[in-house]
Structure 1
Amino acid sequence: MTFRYGLPAAFAVLAALGATTAARAQGEIKIGEINSYSGLPAFTEPYRKGWQLAIDEINAAGGVGGKKLVVVSKDDAGKPADAVTAANELVSREGVALLTGTFFSNIGLAVADYAKQKKVFFMAAEPLTDAMTWSNGNRYTFRLRPSNYMQAAMLAEEAAKLPAKRWATIAPNYEYGQSAVAVFKQLLSAKRPDIEWVSEQWPPQGKIDAGAVVQAVASAKPDAILNVTFGPDLVKLVREGNTRGLFKDRSVVSFLTGEPEYLDPLKEETPEGWIVTGYPWYGIKTPEHDAFLKAYQAKFNDYPRLGSIVGYATMKSVAAILAKAGSTDTEKLVEAAEGIQVDSPFGRITFRKLDHQSTLGAFVGKTGLKDGKGVMVDFGYRDGAKYLPSDDEVRKLRPEG
């Protein structure tokens, strides 16, 4: 499916007129956007609303260099091959200036490889695998979200304070889950050499057999659990774990669980005291976030999710890069993006020249229950710039400049 945002319906008629089409094209910049809208709507629909709000604000302020930003969006159906096909159609048929988006790590890597081969600028919004900017990093790919390494470093900092010595892991068996577990184990073991890893469970993404996973973890008798599951898999795991008492008297550290997309569906079943990364929109009191929250609620009559932040910040970053480049030439876009600073609802961020990773951070806190609904408590913002390895280490991890 292809969605167009920002093109008045009258343009559909004018498109038939070659001269009019050419004139119109001179007054706009097309942005290609790809995501798993049908595969994970809980995240991608708020994400779409976030970038729509950003595009509205940018165009209302005069666009970029007087040109309107127009987004041409495609659904990748959660399949890497479909995402690459979409990317090719956006570039060759739609004539977009650059590519943005993707959610799943394996899909993000596929589009990043396409960007490298075709020399197309790609702003990866969501994929978290470290390979995105390190082992598989390339000149044409940048990433907005804090990576697995960054979020693992934030969580390991808290996990190291726990008395737990025996740890089990539960993660989806694909690039994201594998990457998250590997880096968390590395970072926590470095802080706590006394830790023992007693069990690893790798359910297929979207098809968890929660009963079997819970039983296997329980039989290993861990003191603590690392969880990387999300979405419907998380709901099933929590429900089965609560029923069987898996989480009783055990510490749990969990990637992403504090994001409203994944916390809200747990409702009264939300386990309390898990150490999580997330987005407590209801408790952030900064001028930047207040302005975003007010605009978002006014436009959509709804509260934002983490996806909303990602979509919004992605398009704001793209606009800033286009403005700085003063051109849609790919090489100029890359040069403009390296080291650029952009304002986001979480404060100012930088896209590092070294590895094209942004310094957007995340909130770390604990899960709690309030009025029968899951919330984050005892949370604080972690600046992404403080949770990255040294430049020398990054150079070793990233073979391509």
Structure 2
Amino acid sequence: MTAATPAPGAEFGPDLAEVFGPSQRDGGPDLVQLLTPEGERVEHPDFAVDLSADELRGLYRDMVLVRRLDTEATALQRHGELGIWAQLLGQEAAQIGAGRALRRQDHVFPTYREHGVAWCKGIDPLDLLGLFRGVDQGAWDPAEFGFGLYTIVIGAQTLHATGYAMGMQRDGVVGTGEPDRDAAVLAHFGDGASSQGDVNEAFIFAASYQAPVVFFCQNNQWAISEPIERQTRIPLYQRALGFGFPGVRVDGNDVIATYAVTKAALQRARDGQGPTLVEAYTYRMGAHTTTDDPTRYRMSEDVEHWKLKDPIARVTAYLRRMGLADDAFFAELADEADDLGAKLREGCKALPDPDPMSMFEHVYAEQTAELEAQRAAHQAYAESFETDHTTGTGAHR
């Protein structure tokens, strides 16, 4: 008898449908969830958290205002006021939950989409718009806010985060038992970045040195147009075990669960127990950036499916069901969102154009001879032009 010819690709392991079946696409059985899509509170044996009514309303407020920031920035880009914008629609819970789990002394290494985490760290949203408008390179001081500059090189920030975390160890601010001193690092990246060599190298270094870093992967299931099932044969959080540290998958549309899991992982890092990989299982409701058209590569049914898991809607339902917020609260928050929108629209258009010479600032902590020579050469070139103030035109001398 002749053996049956195996299906193409069968020699490489299980069929993708076995790995990413219906339950897996909804997060799988290991998903940590504390608030269901219907807004019902559930418990988890490993991640108990007790939030006050004020704290719950605060998380909700954060998500609503950050969504408004995202909406306004998208509109500003469409009107030509921003060069580009990286949307976070649908990922508010993943970012706010993680951001609010941080302590003052913790440090964040973001990608280019962590607007919600920036909000939690006290970054002025106008500073984010200035970056995407192209009038600065990031107007906040990472040392002051504990929030690094946005990173466009995919995955590079995970190595930066690991190195910074190793520096914290040598500074003696890990495992001392002093809550106001012990610190950790939170490194954000997406599912697409998990395929980059830098991320895997960061995992190796972090595991080898027990670095106090939490790798926070926002798995929004699309690396631009590449679906997650084409990037991995197993759920991403399970990769951590191969490097020697734990991984946890959390419902990234559940702000309470994301807060609880990230808080536990950060404390583990601060205590000197090493890294953790947190996979926040969520969905990118919008485009990858405003240059992207997601209708070209994904089905509208998937988007509709995830709309039922909206991170803000489930908290709305919970607050109303439990009597923790009334109509007046929601009305006041809507007014606050409108005020934020007006501030962003007006403030963005009023951002001044930069002095061309400012490109030489904030490159190195101390000015190098080479950079100073470049600056002087550019200054001389600029001064070789003179402006006719009657016509506003420039002429070369």
TM-score by length of 1: 0.28
TM-score by length of 2: 0.28
Highest relative contact order (Cα 8 Å, sep 6+), 1 or 2?
A: 2
The structure having more radius of gyration, on CA atoms, is 2
